[in-house]
A and B are shown apart, each in its own frame.
Chain A
Amino acid sequence: MILFLIISFLAMLLIDLPRVIKAKQIRLFIVYGGIYATAFTICLLLTLGISVVSPLTLLSDLFKNVLKISY
């Protein structure tokens, strides 16, 4: 499964990297790198079976348990 993940992300890089390099924009390179790294990290954590906290659940708990705003 991890191998499949790595192959998929390598394929993604092969598809996108030429376009990103051709654009010659540092900002694009940084943004793409940040999003790519985030995507790979989350997918890797899920593949390894490590539970990732959902921001939606956190926000829901904040509204329900802290702010006491819920039905």
Chain B
Amino acid sequence: MKTQKDAITPLQFMFSITCFLRSSSLLSAFFAPISKTDSWLVVLLAAAVCLPFLWVFILLMKAFPGKNLIEINDAVFGRIAGKIISAIYIWFFFTLTSLNLRDLGSFVGKSIMIKTPQLVIVVVFILICAWAASHGLDVVTRYSVVFVIISSIILVVTIAATTDHMNFENFLPILRQPPKNIIQSTHIVSTIPLGELVTILMITPQVNIKPQKIGRYFLAGFLLGALLIMLVVARDIAVLGNTITMFGLPSFETLRMVSFFEVLTHMEILFAILLIILFFFKISLLFYVSILAMSYLFRLDSYKPLILPCAAITAAYSFIVFESLTKHLEIGRDTAPFMWVVFEFLLPLLTLIIAYIRKLPKKEREARSKEAAKV
């Protein structure tokens, strides 16, 4: 199913990962009330915790070059078990897409377009993302570099503009929170959003690079994304201090305080623009991954016929995925970290272990060398 049109460059791949992670840095509501002023440290700890699992992803990419996650599941677990596990992953991908779509709909509906029904916002947005996905991975990821640059410029400008409001004593004392809170927050950040990079395993065959070199771009994108998340959280802590726990969107409140020469004020519009841009990227990529996975599961020649009905399912699912914001926060803080560990860490690790027990990469190499010898 890989076509020349769908191939992406290593830089697009790297910045797609950064953009994917960056799009979640604006939503620190899950962990900021728990780790409070230690949230910046939690991001660093979560990144460190994720590194071994990223290594698992990279080993899977190198062991099965040219195969995406669904094909790897088929190869490792066999046809029936592989299809069951792939179906579970597809549910996970659709759930992530719907959660992000719902978050965007809630934000735009409550902050910007207050009189517009959320249904309209969600449907219009998913149609735009579906349209992007219909043109292939290259179109979806083409502007990832630009988006990362824009978000980084806005980050630097807002850090410079809020310097007057910053109080670096807000960071002290370090590790003020009890260990349980630090562990919980680290767990949350490592799964939402760092661990969501498991979805990238669906697009790695479409990167125009030798399998041995893909790891460095994956790692570079991850580290850059984690760094940007940490800087955003640190900026919010420096400005808001302990009041960070009072706000659902701390970055939104931080940007309210930005003013240039008392002429340009209420720069939270920058947050809104950035959120929409980054969410567009993330939802488009997640939607593309979801329908691509579905097309591989059912062994279809193309994912394109599935775009519109899957967009309808995603939009509908976004309205039922959780009943209220309170339930969303409760799930995100209490149970989602444990649920997501299964999809993001345990299943890929199990896949790698079984692959090595069955000596599958070696068998594949032998099969390839035998075929080459016959020719």
Binding site for B on A (CB under 8 A): 8-9, 12, 15-16, 19-20, 23, 25, 27-28, 31-32, 35-36, 38-40, 42-43, 46, 51-57, 59-60, 63-64, 69-71
Contact = CB atoms under 8 A, between A and B. Distances in A.
Contacts of B246: none
Given A38-B309, A52-B320, A55-B95, 15 more contacts: A8-B312, A12-B308, A12-B312, A15-B308, A25-B300, A28-B300, A28-B305, A31-B298, A36-B309, A40-B312, A42-B316, A42-B317, A54-B320, A60-B336, A63-B335
Is chain A's interface secondary structure helix, strand, loop, or mixed overall? helix
Interface in B318-370: 319-323, 327, 331, 333-339
A39 B312 contact: yes
Contacts, number: 94
B106 to A, nearest CB: 15
Contacts of A36: 309
Contacts of A19: 304-305
Interface of B: 91, 95, 99, 184, 294, 298-302, 304-306, 308-310, 312-313, 315-317, 319-323, 327, 331, 333-339
B122 to A, nearest CB: 12
Consensus secondary structure, chain B interface:
helix
Contacts of B184: 71
A69 B308 contact: no
28 contacts: A8-B312, A12-B309, A16-B308, A19-B305, A23-B301, A23-B302, A27-B298, A27-B300, A28-B300, A28-B305, A31-B300, A32-B306, A35-B313, A38-B309, A38-B313, A42-B313, A46-B316, A53-B320, A54-B323, A56-B321, A56-B322, A59-B335, A60-B339, A63-B335, A64-B335, A70-B334, A70-B335, A71-B184
Nearest to B327: A57
